[in-house]
Structure 1
Amino acid sequence: MTPFRSGLAALLATLVLDQASKLWLYFGTDLVLTQPWRLAPFADFVVVWNRGVSYGLFQQEGGLGRWLLVGISLAAAIGLSVWMVRAGSRLLAVALGLIVGGALGNAIDRAAYGAVFDFVHLHAGTWSWYVFNVADAAIVAGVVGLILDSLRPVGRSPHADVSEDRTHPQA
């Protein structure tokens, strides 16, 4: 499978899993009325509408802020998709696909509902991490993939064999 197709598969899988999980939890269950749902001693399902960006920063109450965030998400998705088309490795393409799928999933929420539906809450004792969703997790995984890809040696294919350089035969 080409890097682009791998990235596209990651994008589509992220988008479908994100939207399906949100639609099922919000419309297919009574989570809204019976939250929190304890999944483990450190994890709950809850309903949080995030009108901002990561960690609830830049909360937007008005329509202008909402549509500005949708526009920024779409612009980022387009730019990262162009990069994904040109990606030379599967790792880079999949990382970009995860980020684009997550950005589109959250943009759909923001356009449809005015906020992003977050539902996974991780915590331990008095420590509480932010509430997130599948799109957010995919974006984080994609950023980790970008970092890992940037640490790989440049200019050499992982399968290249120096002993087969036929352009300069040994004398």
Structure 2
Amino acid sequence: MTETTQTGTRPPGPLSALGLAIIAAVVIVDQISKAIAEARLDYQHGIELLPILALYRVHNTGVAFSFAHGFDSLLLVGGTALITLVVLWLWATARDGGRLVAIGFALITGGAIGNLIDRVRFGHVVDFLYLHLGDRGLFVFNLADVALTIGPILLAWHYLVVERKR
């Protein structure tokens, strides 16, 4: 299916096969990768993979980039759940964008659920991928965070680039 055809079609919803498959895949891969990181990586000891990427396990009690570090865990769980419900509502009411928009929403939802599971189980999120430039650390993240980054990029691409061209 071409992008032109997709933009005018309603995206498959959260309960569609596509939506459920992507959400499940993100949550499963995220949780397995975090379990391996917890089992195999010493806390706060790095293993260089690439000149800009290392394995480095930490426990993030905040949200993105450790923002809200030290906030009440229950508040963060409630806030994450509320935002996830808003994303699901936006997805369910989306009128166009086809599969691209559905994939974007599914990545956001799966990533949010993956991190929400950590918050409920542990009171923190397990992060283990450390992006750095030499000695300058940028941030530590996990695979749920990757989905939470790619999802909005896909939505922005559709709503800011594709829709403007129409």
1:45 aligned residue: 55
- The runs of 5 or more residues in structure 1 that have no matched partner are 157-171
1:145 aligned residue: 154
CA 1:106–1:34: 2 relative to 1, 3 Å: closer
Tell me the CA shift for residue 34 of structure 1: 8.5
Tell me the CA shift for residue 3 of structure 1: 2.2
1:58, 1:34 → 2: CA distance?
Answer: 20
State the AA in 1 paired with 2:67: L
Alignment partner of 1:75 is 2:82: yes
When the two chains are superposed, the root-mean-square deviation of aligned CA atoms in Å is: 2.2
Alignment partner of 1:18 is 2:25: no
Residue-pair matches, total: 151
The structure number with the bigger radius of gyration is 1
Moved over 4 A (4+): none
- Give the TM-score of the pair, scaled to structure 1: 0.79
Alignment partner of 1:36 is 2:46: yes
CA contact (8 A) 1:8 1:94 kept: no
Structural mapping, 1:1-171, within 5 Å: 3-4=12-13, 5=16, 6-27=18-39, 29=40, 31-32=41-42, 35-60=45-70, 65-87=72-94, 88=96, 89-150=98-159, 151-153=161-163
Identity among equivalent positions (%) equals 34
